[in-house]
Amino acid sequence: MLAESIRKKLKPHKRLTYVAKQKRGDASTSASKIGGLPWLESGDEWPTCGHCQNPLQFLFQLNLEETAKLKGGPKGKGFLQVFYCTNPDSYCDELGRTPFSPFGKHLIARHYRPKSDAAQSIKKSPASHPLQRTTIVDWMATD
């Protein structure tokens, strides 16, 4: 009875969510991905930590043209990219107050809008211990 009562109260707040279907490996620089190499235009610098100045770890990138096809998905052109400082020899997350502080200098979450179709030819991440390369190949709706 209690579980059913809770379900009824939560029902108005229910939202459609998506789970990323992934495959190992890094596809093109314009793909939605976790780890690997992000889209950066020729001449752009790899983002660095505002505290220790080391290269930030690339966490993920969503191609907004792909997610725009999803019901309720982010719309627009370009990429949503997230980078985070994983330097084990510093206290960057503590300097940012909390590891997920939205205004910390140890992370970057940005809407990156390329000015051209030409991505840099990056062969290797400058960040130490880059994440395993995983490409998001599709999205599964779930409730």
User: Tens place of pLDDT for every residue, the chain, 143 residues?
Assistant: 678 888 899 888 888 888 999 999 877 888 899 998 898 888 888 999 888 898 999 999 999 988 888 888 777 889 999 998 887 776 675 665 555 566 677 888 899 888 877 777 777 888 877 888 999 999 998 87
Give the whole-angstrom CA distance, residue 82 versus residue 56. Answer: 9
Distances (CA, A) of 88 to 13, 109, 127: 39, 21, 12
The tokens describing 73, both together, are 């998905």
Q: pTM higher than 0.85, yes or no?
A: no
* Cα 48-76-98 angle, rounded to 5 deg: 35
- Tens digit of each residue's pLDDT (9 = 90 or more) over 14-53: 888 889 999 998 778 888 999 988 988 888 889 998 888 9
What does the block give as tokens for 108?
A: 């970057």
